[in-house]
Each structure stands twice: as C-alpha cells, then as structure tokens.
Structure 1
Amino acid sequence: MNPSGNGSVLTAAGCIPRPRVRYLCLSCTLLFSLLLCLPQAAGAQNPILPETKPSAAPAPQTLSLPADDAAIDKAIEQLEERLKKIRALEGTSAEGSPDKNALQIASPDELRKRRHMVSELIVALDAHAEALRDIKNIRKVNRQRSAEIRSWEGFAEKPPYPVVFLDSLRDAVAEQKNDIQTLQMRLSIITGELNKYIRALNDSRPKMRLQEEAFEKSIGSVKEGRQRWLRDMARLQNELNETAVASFETRRLVAEETLAGKKEYLQFLEQKLRAAEQVSPLSAADVGQKLQALDSQRRQIAGELARIIKKEEEAKKSLQQTREKLEALQSRVGSGAASPFQQNELKQLQTLVELQTVLADGSREQVEVMKGRVQLIDYAETLWEDRLWLARNPSLEEIRAKSEEVRTILDNLQLWKTVVQSRMLALVGLIQSQRARIDAPGVTAEILRHEKLVLRTYEDRHILLQKAAEELAGVVRLAGHFSEELAERRDRTSLQGRLRDAASIAYGFIKKLWLTELYVAEETVVVEGARVVKPVTVTVAKAVQALAILVVGVWISRKLMRPLRWLVVHKFKQNNSIAAQIGTVAFLILFIAVFVFSLVSVNIPLAVFAFLGGALAIGIGFGAQNLINNFISGIILLFDRSISVGDLIEVDGQGGKVTAIGMRSSLVQRFDGVEMLVPNSQFLQQKVINWTHSERQMRYSIAIGVAYGSPVRKVKELLTQVIEEQEAVLKTPHPLVVLDDFADNCIHFTAYFWLELDSIRDNRILMSEMRFRIIELFDEHGIVIPFPQRDVHLDAPVPIPVRVVDTEADQKGSRRHPI
C-alpha cells in the first residue's frame, strides 16, 4: 500500500495507474464468482505432511475391513509410513513446525493446540494400526473355533462326566458372557467417540474451505503468513477428524466381528454344557468327594487357626509387657529432664511398642481371615449339598425359596469380596511405604531389623488375603453355578408343576395372612413363687377360630331358648312374659359363657381386653354412649319387670302390645298391627303407661240416652241384662248401671263393667256386640233413643195464614219450573 494514499495498488510488477483500478476490481469480482461455481480443490498441502492429501482417510460410510491378511499388512504398512513421516516432521523444530515463521505469527495457545492435535493424530493412527493387527488374531481364533464347532460330534469320554468337567464348562460359559458384556460396553464407547468425531468432521470441512479462500485472498498482502498458518491449522484439524473417524470406524468393525465370533462360540459352549448335563446328573459320590476335600481343607485351616490364635495371644502378652515397661520408665522420668541413657531406652521401648502393635494387629487380622475361610468352607459345603438336593427333583416352590437363599449368599460374598479387596489395596500402600522407609538413608541396623520385620508382617497378611480372595472367588463361582442350575430348572418346569407352584404360593399367602399377629398380650404366670410375664400373640387364626366358636355357640343358645320357655310355661306354670324374660337372661348368660369359652379354647388371654377396654371407653366417649345406654336399659327392664312381654303399654302417644324385649330395643305391636322398634332407654326416660303392669282387669263403660217419658227402671234392667249376658264380663267387681244426668234431649244412663285385658280377644268387638244387643232390647220394649231436638215458639202480631197444597201438583210444577 502506497503510504502517500494516492490510490495506486502495489504489486510484484510495480504500480498500476488509478484509471485501471476499477477495471481490475471488476475482473477480480467476475473471476471470484467463477471460482465459487467450480468444485473445491482437495489437493491442499498439510503442514505436517506436505505430500499427503487431507482427505486421504477413507470416508466412514464406505470403510470396510481388509478381506485377507495381505491387505491387512498393506494397510498397516501405510499407517506406519504415515506415522514415521509425522514423527520425523514433528521433531524438525523446537515447536514441531516446519515453518520457522510460525513462532512469530502464532500465539502460544495456538502452538500448544497444534502440538495437541499432532499427538492426537499419532494416537489415532497408532490405534488404527493396532486394531488391524488385532483383527488378524481375531479372525484366526474365529476360524479355529468355527472349525471346532463344525467338527464336534460329541465328547470323546463316555458319560456320565465328573462334576469338575461340568463346572469347567460352566466357567467357560461364564467367561464368554463376561467377555461379551465387556465388548458390548467397549463397542458403546467406540460408537460414542465415532459419532463425536463425525460431528467434528462435518464442522471442520467447511471451516477448512473458508480458510482456503481467506488464504487465497491474502496472497501478496501482509496477512499472507497469518492466513497460511490458519489454513494449515484448519487442514490439520480436518485431517485429525478424518483419521479419528477412520480409526474408530475400524475399531467398531473389529469389535462387532469379535462380538459375533464370541456369541457364536458361546452358543457352542452352552450346547456342550446342555449335552453334558443331560447325561451327567450330580451323584452322591461326586458330592461326597467334594465334601471330603472340603473337610480336609477345614482341618488344615483349623490347625493354622489354632497356631495363629496362640501367636496372637503371645503378641498381645508381649505388647502388654512392653507397654507396662514404657509406662514404668515414663513414671520414673516424670516431668524432669531424662538422661541420655533414659532417652535412648524410651526411644527403644516406643519403637518396640510400635513393632509389637503391628504384629498384634497382623495376628488379629490373620485370625479374622482364617475364620472367614472356615465360613467359606461352610458355604461351599452347603452349596454342594444343595446341588445334590436339586438332583432329587424338588418342587418349584422349594426351588424358588432356595434361589432366594443363594441370592443372599451371593450378596454376602460380594460384600466380603469388597472388604478383602479394600484391605489388600491398603496393604499394598503399607508395603510400598515400608519399603521406602527401609531404603531411606541413615537407618540404623536395629531399626532396619524392625522395619524388615514389619514389612514381612505386611507381606504375610497380603499373601493370606490373596489366598482368601482365591477361595472366595471359587465359592462365588460355585454359588453362581448353582444359581444357574436353579434358574434352568425353573425354566424347564412343566405346566402341571407351575400350577402346583401357583397353588402353593396362594396357600403360602393365605397361611401367612392366617398367622398374622393382630395383638400381643402379656400374661402373668407364677413360676416357683416368681411372677413371670409371658407374651401371648393374638393372630388372625385365633380370632377366626374364636369367632367361629362364638357363632356356633350363639346359634345353639338360640335353639335352646324355645324348649326353655316351654319348660317354664308348662312345667313351672308361668306365663309367657316371665318365660320370655327368663329366656333372655339365660341367653345372655350363655352368650357370656360361650364368649369366654371361645377365648380360652384358642388361648387368647382375657388380658387382651385391657387394650380393648380402653378402646371401648374412647368409643363410648365419641358416640357409643347411646348404644351402651340402650343395652343397660334392656338389662334393667329384664330384671325389674316394669315392662314385660305381652304387656299393653302406651309410650310417646303410641299404644300396643310388647312382643319382645331385646338387648338394644324392644318390639311393640300397635293395635293396628304395625310393629315399632322402641329403644330401651325410652322406657326409663319417658312417661310410659302400662295397662297390665299389676293386674290385667280394666273397667269399661257404655253411655246411652233414652227419651223423656221412658220407663227408667226398665231401662236399668235391660242394660243389666245385656251386661250379664256377656260371659267375658267379670262378675267381680260387680257391674253397675247408673242414671247419670237429665240432659237436654234425653235421660242419660251409664253402664260400668270390668273386662280381662287379653292380647287375643279384642274388647272393642265385645263392646260393639253389647251395643247391638241394647238396640235390639230397646226396640222390643218400645224404648226410644232420642236425637237432639228443639221446640220453636213464634210470637206473631197477626195470625199466620195456613193453606193446604196439593203435593203431586206441586211436584209437577216444580218439574216444569225448576228452580
């Protein structure tokens, strides 16, 4: 650019006059538009590999593994050649750039980013080559396994096969499953990384094209060096993404091919395992050999455990003696200054205490480990016995229960495994630290001897834990085999067995519900003069049994009430009311007796009502007082006999006959036949008329009037005759006929007589018949029953004219002239 600002453009050829600037700009614009229409050139050089095209890596959608070993070797050779060139060019300068001006045009962060991308590029190429090397070995193994699968026609040995052989097959199957699971996880990670680099590649390609265009525009300007650096960085980033995509795609294809081969071989191993299991049932002899071996191992561990326990006791005793010596020396020194000899002795005793503490701790941990090994043997023996039990074809319910036990054992073993691994890891750190202390300079011979002894203690503990870990792994494998056998047996259960299992599950659920505890009562028992509190559970079973006994007892008690009432009426000559009351009281007594018997028979203590009594009190306070009030009122009515069955009463304006007295309410049948349920408390709280409380006689009366002029003595005789004709009328008290009054229209008589109140006979009908009879006798003797009448006297000033009218003519006129 010309500093004078005259508008001329500086080029390699010199200065261009101003009139030609517009023409040159127009030509550049047309050329740039034409270049945009052309495809982007792909032959840009890489800052690391000038001879390599940035798109040299194959696209992921067309990438495939080489078909044979020769193609694989050729691809590996190409990758190694690229790695050599990259490493050679990477070391051409201190900053790893062939361009010496890069240090001036790039920032330190950009240089670090470039070094990081170069390292990633090397790692991607190296992983790509390693994956190709792996596929050669994998294909070789797959070919061998395929040939083994095709050629296998059965086992060479004759069945039955030993249990060790079956367990080895199970271990091989478990190993293949673990490898497949690991490969699937690895494949998932590779796929995730592949997708990440594919997205990065889709972003880096357009950025690289933009940087190419920016560099071409900057040619001949002061920005040319900076734009070249940015273009080379964009190329490097794009090449890294392409190489990483190719590398991860190759690793993905390798993993998929490996996974397919392992799955095929797993099917083959499972087929061999099934074939061996079908002809090799577990025998008692095999289990006996295993149990014998475990017993021998137990005796060996028991001997070692006794030796270690003795060693632990000696270590504890020595530690205690050394601590006592140290405390005695510290007490002698006191708070004063110690002499050099005493300081040396204190230091030695403190070092000895630390050493003996380590030894005691090591002995204690060894004892714990040995006891754990004994428990592992117990687990192993139980598992082998259970495997023999499985060969006896147990039910599906038993298999399910045993599966739960094995699952619990596996969970416990996994916890043990975690503890053992953590202890081993801690011991590794202690061993490394102890070795560092031994190798430290300036260590005296005495201290060195102590430190080596501590190191040997740590190493012995680590070795013992390694043994325990190996035995633990063996028991875990054994439990895993048994769990697989249980699962396989469940899967092979027939429909009939599954139905039996479903019925057994239902029965177990009902049994569990049947034995569910509802309440735990405390029963006090005197044993040898001492009071012992014994808990007694109240279950659903006891409650149902007690309820059943109570229902049956109540039903029998109700059936006994009828013969009891008959006995009271016919043998003891009592009325029905007394019989009903006796029956009710007897039923109440029987109910209480049956209730107590139902509780005692199923061993439910009466102390349970200490809890129920509190609940009952709360219920009374919150609304049951009416129920209890009616119940108590019913008991009072039964015993005070103020109201009995058959009484004619009137309560709350309603009259009727008492037909039943219950515990809560009484049944009253009105005279119109309607039955009422009256709460018992109303008989005690309200005014009640009992017409038959003390006696069943009641005075009735019939009032009648006769016309003036009738023979009154005759009227009295006739009324007395009517009363005496009725047999239901009581002779005592004597009937009475009185002349009550001289009324306006008649002479008024009243007949009084007494009747027995009978629930069968309706006295109203009797009185009606007596009235009919009175009318008949009065008609026979010409006695008139008058109706009300009045005499009207007219006081007129002149006579009132009277004329006779033809009734027939008057009626005709009325028809012709209706009013």
Structure 2
Amino acid sequence: MISRQILFALMLLAPLTHAQIPLPGLNSGVPKAEAELAPVDSDPRSRAETQLAEARRQQEAGQLQEGGTTGVEGLPISDRQRLLDRLVLAYSERLKLLEELENLKKSPPEKARQQVLLAEFSGSPPYSALRVDALRDEYDALRERQQSLASTERALEKLKVGRIDAQRRAGEAVRLAEDKLARASAQEAIDKERLSRELASLRRQLAEAELANIEIGLERIHMEIQASQTLGREIERLLARVLPEQRLDKEELEQQQALLRKELNTLNSEIDRIVAANSRLAAERERLVKIVAKAGSEVPEARRLQLLDARLETGRVVLITLPWLQTMAQVASDAWTQRALALNSPDPASRQAVISALSQIREDLASRRQILDELQQAARVELRERESRLDGATLDAEAKAQASTLLDVLKERVLAYQRVDRSETRMQLQLERWLDDFGFHAKTASRDDWKLGVLQVVQTLKRVWDFEMFAVEDSTLIDGKTVTVTYGVTVGKSIGALILFLLGYWLFSLLSRHLQQLMVRRFGVNEQMASVMRRWAMISLAVALIIFILNLARIPLTVFAFLGGALAIGIGFGTQTIIKNVISGIIILFERKIRVGDIIALGGMTGHVIAVDLRASTVRGFDGVEALVPNSSFLENQVVNWTYSNPRIRREIRIGVAYGSPVREASEIIVGCANEHAQVLKDPAPEVFFEDFGDNALMLLLMFWVELGPQLSARRVDSDLRYAMEKRLAAAGIAIPFPKRDVHLDLSEPLPVRITHAAATPPDSSCRS
C-alpha cells in the first residue's frame, strides 16, 4: 500500500494555494527569489536543505515581527506567516521524499522478497500446501497494491496538471506586482506594493515546491510499480511451478483442524456470553416495562428501555451470526479434509469425488450469500438513517449520549454481519483456488491427468442425463382407493424413448416394405393398393409404438395434456400448412382419386405419380424432372387425371394432301399405318375424317386410341405414325403440299424501269494478286 509519507504529501497538497488572500501590511524587506536561493551544485537534497533553511529563517523573523506589529491599515500579517509555514512544510516533505527515494533505489524491498521466495521453494517437490497458500495470498496482496499504486499515480498526474496551472498564474501575479511597484510613487503605495510582490513571490515558491514534491512522488510511484510488476511476474512463474507439486501432509491437516476447533470453541464461548447477557437484559427489560407502564413514557426509564430493546435486537443478530460462523468453520474443516484427500490421492475417481463435494460446498455458500447481503445492507441503511437523524437533531447532553450509545449498538450489528462476510469471502476464495487446482479446465491442473478429465466429462453427462425436466402424476385405483404416483421425466428417459421409437419405426419400415413386395409377388395385389396398405399400416404401427414406448418408459399419456394446451396455439399457427397437407394426404389415400402410376396434369405440369405420401406427392414429368406437390394442391386446384377410371386416351393427327390427289386412297393408307402400329388400339378402331378444304391442301384427320402406361410415350406414337404416313404417301405418289401463293401483276400501265451504275470501286488486292 502507499507509504505514510506519500499520503501525508497528498494531504499537504490537497488545498488550493492560488486563492485570493487579503494583503497584509508589513515593513519587512522583500524575500529573496527561489532562483537566488539555489546553491551552485545541482544536488536536489542540498538545494532542498538550503531552501528549507532560508524558509525557516524567514518564518522565525516573521514570528518575531508578528508579536506586536500590525501592517498597513491595521490588518494582521498572518497571511505571510501562513505561506511561510506551508513553505517550510513543503520543503521538509521534499527532504523526506528524497530520502525515501534514495533508500528505495539502494535496497528495494521487492528484490529482497524475491530472494526470500526463491529460497523458500528452492528445494525439491513436493511443496507444502500451506506455504503455497501463503504465496498465493502474497500474490493477491501484491495485485491489490499494484491497483492502489496505479490509482495514486492517476491522482498525482491530475494534481500535477493543477499545480502547473497554479505555478503559471503565480508567475503572472509576480510580474504584475513588480509592474505596480515600479509605477508606485508615494511611500505608502510603495510599501503596499512591495508587500504584495512579496506575497506573490511566496505563492510562486510554494507552487514550485508543491510541484517538485509531486514529481518526486510520481518518480517513487513509478519505481514501486515497476518493482511490484517484476515481483508479480516472478511469483506467477513460481506458482506455475509449485502448484502442481503441492501436498498437504497429515501434520499440516491436523494443524488446520486444530485451528478450526479452537475457532469453534471461541464461538461457543461467545454464544454462551451473549446468551447470558441477553438473559440479564431481558430481566432488566421486564422491570423497566413495569416502571414505564406505571409512570408513563416521560420518565428516564423509557429511554433506557429503548436502548435495552436495541441491545437485545443486536444480541439476537449476533446470536444469528455466531452459529453461521460455526457452520462456516465446520464446512471449512470438511473442505480441508477433502483437499488433503485430493492432493494426496493419485486416484482420479477420488479427485472427482472431491471436486463434486467442493463444488457443492461452493454452491451452498453462494445460495446463502444473497441472504447475508440483504441483512448486511438493511443494517447499514438503518445505521445511516440513525446517523442522519442525529446530525440534524438538536438534543441535550443526556439525549445525545443515548443517541451515541444507540449508534454504537447499531454498529455492532453491522460488524457482526461483516464478520460473517469476511469469513465467507475467504472460504469462497479458498474453494475457487482448490477447484482451480483440481478442475478439468483449471490453469494449474496437470496436463497429463486425462483420466480426471474423462471422469469429469462422464459425471457432467450423467448429471445432464438424470436431469429432471418436469414431474407428472398418475392416479391408479387400488383396492377401491385412488393412489397417486409421481413420475419424473428426465432427459435420459426422453432421449431413450426417442431412440427406441426411431429404432422401432425403422424396423417396422423394413418389415412393411418386405410385406408390400410379398403381397405384390405372391398374392397378386395391385402395386398401388399394396402401397396404400403399407402407408396405413405404418401410421397405425407408429401410433401403437408411441403408446407402447411411453408405457415402457413410465411416461403417462397425461403428460401431454398440459403440453397440448400450451402448444395448441403455437402449433395451430406454425404448422397449419403442414397439418393441412397431412390431412389432404390422408384424404387422397382414403379416396384414391390420385394413385401411384396415374398420369395427371396440374399447374402446367404433366407426368406420372410415383409416390403419394402424407405431406406431399411426387410427380415425375415426361421430361424426367420430379416435382414435390403438396397434397393440398390436389384438393384446392383442378387436376386432370388421364388414367383415373380408364387409361385409354384419344390422339389426333392432321395431315394435308395436294388438290387432285385420290382422297380415298390416302385415307386407306393413313388407316393402314395406324392399324399396323403395335401401341394403337384396335378397339375402338382408328378412323380418318375428311376435315376441311384448306388453302393449300385437302385436310385429313386421323383419330386413334392408345392406352397410357409407364412404358408408353404418346409423342413417340405420333412420331412413328407420321414417319409411316410420309413414306406410304410418297410411295403412292400422293404429295403433301406446302403453302403456295399466286402473285398477280397489273400490266395495264408500263412499269418504270431505272438503271443505275454502281460507283467504281478499286479492285480488291486479293483479286489483283
């Protein structure tokens, strides 16, 4: 922490020195400037001694003059004396700071402490756990000291800025006083301005002295920060080396247990003393209550009764905190035992058990921490309210004494809570350290202790597996009585039920697929009907499997009763589209309006239905692209099913023959091509109709029927027929005309003819070559 001298310097420099002070009158000579007081050499200590001697001389001279002399206009000369007193203190403080700085440079304490630490842990491991704890405490104290030094450094830097500004303004005041002195003519004005210049010069000297003290203090702070940082790094390296090698032998454990037993005995004695004191106070209170009841509330006993009530309440608070401290001591004893077991046992399972026990102790302490904070805060609030009332009240001596005593009683409550707070904070710190030593993610744990890591992971997974998400009640009737049994639904039970359901569904899926193939091969069931039966069987088996697994895992169906109410709205809005498609799929499977293998046309897409599932159906287009169509689209839109009741469809091919061609012969040729094609149905037979007299041809229409199926392509049939008709008609000499146009020219008037000559162009170089 900050030394006493630096704190004294900060208190010395705290008041502002550039405030306006009334000018006294004094007929003394002008003091010498600080530059004139500086010695020839540049030694700071010698210069400070010279300045201190001169300031003391002026101080003594001023004290002699102040004995019976007054200044101009009868004003006292205490302002000059006050500045000289502060100047003497500033120079004296500078000498102390310089001496401490020299001593710090010659023999820094951190260096000596570093050597002591290295000597303490220079031996071979294992190292004493108590010595390691002392090293940790020293490291924590060193870190707090570094933070305090950093705060002091920031404060001095801000104070330095203010003193630099004060020095500048003091210099300006000196120059202004010299100008006024030079312009003064009368002797009285000269004496007055001479005094003003002297005061301004003293203020400047004081500002310069305080600034020099701040700079020396900053230099010392910087040295201490650097030394503490060096020592901190050395302690960190030392801790990294000794922490994995610490041991707690039986003698050290017994030593700690003896200290804790001694603390328990002390706490028992305190409890007995407080109980006895409260008994006496309770008896005294009963006597005072009777007196006050007879004489009224204005007697002195009424005030004593109020004070007795406060003391009894404080005793009650102390009797609450002392057992709390006893529990802390017992917990600390158990924790030390667990620590010794973990440090001295190489078994990872034992260390894992210790980790669990220490973690539970830490959680218990954390759970009581909030209660302690609330009680402590309430006691402090009551104390502050009582202090504020006492400060603003006008009381006589007796009432003031009683109020002061009452404040002391309230402070005892705060101290009792603070005692428990310190004990819990220390215990929490120790537990954090020990768990850091033993934990899987600890900074100081052994890197090779992989078994402990595995055990900790297994333990964590086990806690997650056994975590109870919620509990349900199941009522059964036994011997005419209703017995309610509570079941806990854990994470492991839920995951097990889910895995079992997935496994059973997978097995049922394989079995149903095998049965579908068996029905098609052996029993001659239509493939579409077999697929529908398989779908309904899977739905039924899934529902039965869910019920069986819930009963097997002892999860009653009533668990979904409250879930249904909580999730109904969310499921209704979030899954309405899915539910609509699922219901549409069930309707499609039930009505069989759309079946596997049908050729449908929906939304500009035509193709075969290859699968009808619960949510969506799969349609493969004639171009081989598969589309997933939501089942609700089949119910909400117009669907063309080419193979709903009859897979036969009628196809038409138009063909034109030239005018003058034998139409009957052409018709027979076209019908013969259709009859010879294997995929054109004979019933109904293909027919040719003379459709129209076209602009360029006689139009014939071939109408024929085909039966759609997975292996039939209507476009392929049309193409084959066109190939055959073109070949047969050409062989018969019947032409298939193309469009022709006749152009008629009106030659009643001569047509103008104009001949133009193209501009001569230079011959191409390629042609020339």
Report the counterpart of residue 619 of structure 1 in structure 2. 574
The residue number in structure 2 matching 1:577 is: 528
Q: Verify the 8 A CA contact 2:584 2:632 in the aligned structure 1.
A: yes
Q: Which amino acid aligns with 1:120?
A: R
Is the CA contact (8 Å cut-off) linking 2:596 and 2:609 kept in structure 1?
yes
- CA-to-aligned-CA distance 1:560-586 (integer Å, 9 cap, x gap): 444222222233322222222222322
Aligned: 1:234 with 2:200: yes
Q: Which residue of 1 aligns with 2:65?
A: 92
Q: How far 1:54 sits from its partner (Å)?
A: 3.7
What SS does the aligned partner of 1:529 have? strand
- Cα contact 2:244–2:444 (8 A) shared by 1: no
The offset of 1:89, in angstroms, is 1.4
Does 1:391 find its partner at 2:343?
yes
Distance 1:750 1:119, change over 3 A: closer
Q: Distance in 1 between matches of 2:628 and 2:259?
A: 85
1:376–1:475 Cα contact (<8 Å) kept: yes
Q: Which digits, 9 at most, give the CA deviation of each residue in 1:80-104, with x for residues without a partner?
A: 6742640441352379xx6x55336
Q: How far apart are the structure 2 equivalents of 1:264 and 1:723?
A: 105
Q: In the alignment, what sits opposite 1:529?
A: 482
Q: Measure, in 2, the Cα distance between the counterparts of 1:392 and 1:384.
A: 12
Q: Secondary structure at the match of 1:526?
A: strand
Map 1:451-470 onto structure 2 (within 5 A). Answer: none
User: Equivalent residue for 1:283?
Assistant: 249
Whether 2:44 is the aligned partner of 1:64: answer yes
Distance in 2 (alpha carbons) for counterparts of 1:636 and 1:660? 15
1:204 alignment partner in structure 2: 170
Q: How far does the alpha carbon of each residue in 1:199-245 deviate from its partner, in whole angstroms, 9 at most, with x for none?
A: 43344345434533542443556632332222222222233234434
Residue from 370, 376, 390 that aligns with 2:322: 370
2:56 equivalent among 83, 86, 94: 83
Q: Provide closer, same or farther for how the CA distance between residues 48 and 126 of structure 1 changes in structure 2, counting only shifts above 3 A.
A: farther
Which residue of structure 2 aligns with residue 298 of structure 1?
264
Alpha-carbon spacing, 1:766–1:262, altered in 2? closer, same or farther (3 Å): closer
Task: Measure, in 2, the Cα distance between the counterparts of 1:785 and 1:628.
Answer: 63
Matching of residue 102 in structure 1 with residue 72 in structure 2: yes
> What residue ranges of structure 2 are gaps of 5+ in the alignment?
1-25, 656-661, 694-699, 738-769
Between 669-678 and 632-641, the greater mean CA deviation after superposition: 669-678
Q: Work out the CA distance in 2 between the residues paired with 1:726 and 1:169.
A: 103
Contact 1:399 1:486 (8 Å CA) reproduced: yes
Counterpart residue type for residue 525 of structure 1: D
- C-alpha distance in 2, partners of 1:479/1:377? 13
Residues 354-386 of structure 1: CA distance to partner in whole angstroms, max 9, x if unpaired?
354244234313313422432442454255346
Query: Superposition pairs for residues 507-656 of structure 1, below 5 Å?
Result: 523-526=472-475, 529=482, 536=489, 555-593=506-544, 605-607=559-561, 608-619=563-574, 624-625=576-577, 627-647=578-598
What is the CA–CA distance in structure 2 between the aligned matches of 1:159 and 1:690, rounded to whole Å? 89
**Does structure 2 retain, via aligned residues, the 8 Å contact 1:190–1:252?**
yes
Show the counterpart of 1:55: 35
TM-score (norm 2): 0.62
Q: 2:593 is paired with a residue of what secondary structure?
A: coil
Question: Is residue 123 from structure 1 mapped to residue 66 from structure 2 by the alignment?
Answer: no
Q: What count of residue pairs does the alignment treat as equivalent?
A: 681
Secondary structure, counterpart of 1:644 in structure 2: coil
Q: What SS does the aligned partner of 1:642 have? A: coil
Residue identity in the other structure for 2:560 = L
Describe the superposition over 1:118-142 as per-residue Cα deviations: whole angstroms up to 9, x where unpaired. Answer: 3422432443455467679879986
What SS does the aligned partner of 1:89 have? helix
Of 415-424 and 293-302, deviating more is 415-424
How many Å separate the matches in 1 of 2:673 and 2:137?
Answer: 120
Paired AA for residue 363 in structure 1? G
> Could you give the per-residue CA deviations for residues 16-39 of structure 1, whole angstroms, max 9, x where no partner exists?
xxxxxxxxxxxxxxxxxxxxxxxx
For residue 313 of structure 2, what is the amino acid of its counterpart? Answer: D
- Residue 521 of structure 1 and its aligned partner are, at CA, apart by 6.4
CA contact (8 A) 1:308 1:367 kept: yes
Post-superposition CA distance 1:149-193 (Å, at most 9, x none): 699977999999987777777777777776676666556655655
| Inter-partner Cα distance in structure 1 for 2:132 and 2:715 | 105
- Return the alpha-carbon distance in structure 2 between the equivalents of residues 199 and 324 of structure 1: 70
Rate the CA distance shift 1:597–1:785 in 2: closer, same or farther, 3 A: farther
- Of the three residues 642, 663, 668, the one matched with 2:614 is 663
Matched, 1:357 2:309: yes
Q: 1:116 to 1:548 in 2, by over 3 A?
A: farther
Per the alignment, residue 335 of structure 1 pairs with none
CA contact (8 A) 2:325 2:423 kept: no
Structure 1 spans left out of the alignment, 5+ residues: 1-45, 330-341, 705-709, 789-819
Distance in 1, Cα, partners of 2:78 & 2:281: 60
Mapped to 2, the partners of 1:464 and 1:220 lie a distance apart of: 71
Alpha-carbon spacing, 1:549–1:205, altered in 2? closer, same or farther (3 Å): same
Verify the 8 A CA contact 1:729 1:754 in the aligned structure 2. Answer: yes
Instruction: Name the CA distance, whole Å, in 2 between partners of 1:467 and 1:555.
Output: 67
Aligned pairs for 1:180-219 within 5 A: 189=155, 193=159, 196-205=162-171, 207-219=173-185
- For the residues of structure 2 that align with 1:699 and 1:148, how far apart are their CA atoms? 105
| 1:226-267 Cα shifts (integer Å, max 9, x gaps) | 322222222222332344345555666676778888889999
- In structure 1, how many angstroms separate the alpha carbons of the residues matched to 2:304 and 2:98? 60
| % identity of equivalent residues | 20
Of stretches 246-255 and 605-614 in structure 1, the one that deviates more from structure 2 is 246-255
CA distance in 2, matches of 1:594, 1:326: 81
Higher deviation after alignment, 197-206 or 399-408: 399-408
Check conservation: 1:523, 1:534, Cα contact below 8 A: yes
Compared with structure 1, are the counterparts of its residues 467 and 280 closer, same or farther at alpha carbon in structure 2 (3 Å cutoff)? farther
Using a 3 Å threshold, how does the CA distance of structure 1 residues 671 and 280 change in structure 2: closer, same or farther?
Answer: closer
* Greater gyration radius: 1
Name the amino acid aligned to 1:301: L
The answer on whether the counterparts of 1:49 and 1:89 sit within 8 Å (CA) in structure 2 is: no
Q: Is the 8 A contact 1:58 1:246 kept in 2?
A: no
Q: Which amino acid aligns with 1:92?
A: Q
Partner of 2:23: none
RMSD: 7.1
Do the aligned residues in 2 keep the contact of 1:719 with 1:774 (CA within 8 Å)? Answer: yes
Output the CA distance in 1 between the equivalents of 2:93 and 2:643: 116
2-side partners of 1:240 and 1:495: how far apart? 61
Q: Under a length normalisation based on structure 1, what TM-score does the superposition of the two structures give?
A: 0.59
C-alpha distance in structure 1 between counterparts of 2:115 and 2:564, whole Å: 76
The alignment partner of 1:606 has SS state of helix
* Cα deviation, residue 273, structure 1: 9.8
The superposition leaves residues 762-808 of structure 1 with CA deviations (integer Å, 9 ceiling, x where unpaired) of 799999999999999999xx9x99999xxxxxxxxxxxxxxxxxxxx
1:214–1:368 distance in 2 versus 1, CA, 3 Å = same
Contact 1:291 1:381 (8 Å CA) reproduced: yes
The question of whether the paired residues in 2 share the 8 Å contact of 1:63 and 1:249 is answered with no
